[in-house]
Amino acid sequence: MSSKALDYENLNENVKKCQYAVRGELYLRASELQKEGKKIIFTNVGNPHALGQKPLTFPRQVIALCQAPFLLDDPNVGLIFPADAIARAKQFLGMTSGGLGAYSDSRGIPGVRKEVADFIERRDGYPSDPELIFLTDGASKGVMQILNSIIRGPSDGILVPVPQYPLYSASIQLLGGSLVPYYLEETANWGLDINDLRQSVAQARYKGITVRAMVIINPGNPTGQCLSVANLKQIIQFCHQENLVLLGDEVYQQNIYQDERPFISARKVLLDMGLPLSKEVQLVSFHTVSKGYWGECGQRGGYFEMTNIPPKAVEEIYKVASISLSPNVPGQIFMGLMVNPPKPGDISYDQFVRESKGILESLRRRAHMMTDGFNSCRNVVCAMYSFPQIRLPPRAIETANKLGKAADVFYCLRLLEATGISTVPGSGFGQKEGVFHLRTTILPAEEDMPAIMESFKKFNDEFMEKYEDHKGYSRM
């Protein structure tokens, strides 16, 4: 029988080459163990509601009314839903061309884009143009849309931080471009050295690669840090000098668990810098409803905002967005609610603040609990809660090599089998040669966290005892 187009050997090579570690070997093995009846704690992906985080009441009330608008005609609706939720539902339905079941503009509902623009202006202190805001099915879809517009072929490179979220490596591979890594410095709170950036660009050019854009993930994923204003200024000046588009992945801007350094958007820093940079550096910024105290991953709501992108280029991006007709409309409503939540004096305000503050405070406690827990373990160094360094003994590395596995994959698989804790090996995010990490989330229930960390410590210390020969370890 002749081979078919969708036989494995005939698939697009870029499809076969792209890797997505968050749903990779560890996740698949965890799913197998779960089917066999083992209790699995999925900390591999930021999926808050799957791990017990309760949805915020007000947005769910509004979306329920939008999904079932006949409830608004019920004379008893005010007995079940607060007046401000009813008013917002009517407002959103009035923005649509036929309710949540109708396509919207391919850029998203104009009224919601105006709410996003108002949010950005409040955050940054500068006006935002709704015509330059596109609503998307989560931030990931927006990232792929923009990368698709930038990458023309294998000689086009995208600067990506290492460690990085594997969305970038996978998307660049899928689109046929080249990933150009730049390393964050673990000993400097995962900061960025501008000289390393220059070296990465020079090495890429030596290989015949034209670097066209630079990705920053701020706050960091998986590293959790916030970039300083000084670092952001250096990055913007670098992009201006090298004529690069700056892609600002800012989806974790609500997830700040330290007081030393707040989140500041790349857009605010750019506009603060004034002419000529504020009018010349091209910037695309991304946000989502999936993170922070919202955690509405399954709703797939996101946006990107373009700064200093020429009108003809915006038209082309709009054209490509039109191929998908419309971003999902419920996700757009969630985005409108996230950027324009209840205000002081609204009926639902106190409850909204109580719920959101409760979630953020719990996340902060869990972050500290996890950092302290990791740092109490043998050969584990954790400056930030989500990406601890594991100093693996040489015998463990040798054993992993014999099994044909990366050393951190071997460690994480053993952790999974022993404890049911599903993590992601640092190699899935990128790391310096000979240094090993794992990535976890802080999303398991707060009351479960002590037992999880105790289970991790017991496994880790037994693992180190088994493989340690006291002759040395992998380290920075």
Average pLDDT of the residues in 176-182 = 94
Which residues fall within 8 angstroms of residue 15, CB to CB, at 6 or more apart? 174
Q: Looking at residue 475, what is its pLDDT?
A: 45
| CA 189 to each of CA 34, 186, 224, 226, 231: distance values in angstroms, whole numbers, following the listed order | 36, 6, 9, 9, 12
Q: Looking at residue 21, what is its pLDDT?
A: 59
- Do 393 and 13 contact (CB within 8 A), yes or no? no
At residue 73, what is the residue type? Answer: D
* 159 bridge partner residues: 180, 214
Topology of the domain covering 8-52+356-467: Aspartate Aminotransferase, domain 1 (3.90.1150)
Residues of the chain with CATH 3.90.1150.10: 8-52+356-467
Which H helix or E strand runs over 424? strand 424-425
Residues of the chain with CATH 3.40.640.10: 96-339
Average pLDDT of the residues in 257-268 = 86
| CA 418 to each of CA 141, 165, 168, 302, 455: distance values in angstroms, whole numbers, following the listed order | 36, 26, 31, 37, 9
CA distance 296 to 294: 5
Give residue 338's Cα distance to chain centre. 17
Greater pLDDT, 432 or 88: 88
Topology of the domain covering 96-339: Aspartate Aminotransferase; domain 2 (3.40.640)
Greater pLDDT, 29 or 349: 349
Where does residue 39 rank: exposed (0-12), middle (13-18), buried (19+ CB within 10 A)?
exposed
Q: Looking at residue 383, what is its pLDDT?
A: 59
What is the SS3 assignment for 248-279? EECCCCCCCCCCCCCCCCHHHHHHHCCCCHHH
Q: Looking at residue 46, what is its pLDDT?
A: 73
| Helix, strand, or coil (residue 422) | strand
Mean pLDDT, the chain, whole residue set: 90
Which H helix or E strand runs over 35? helix 25-35
Q: Looking at residue 192, what is its pLDDT?
A: 84
Residue 129 phi/psi, 5-degree rounding, is -95, 115
Greater pLDDT, 50 or 434: 434
Q: Check whether 313 has a pLDDT greater than 80.
A: yes
Greater pLDDT, 436 or 225: 436
Enter the pTM of the model: 0.89
Q: Which residue has the tokens 């709703």?
A: 299
Which H helix or E strand runs over 377? none
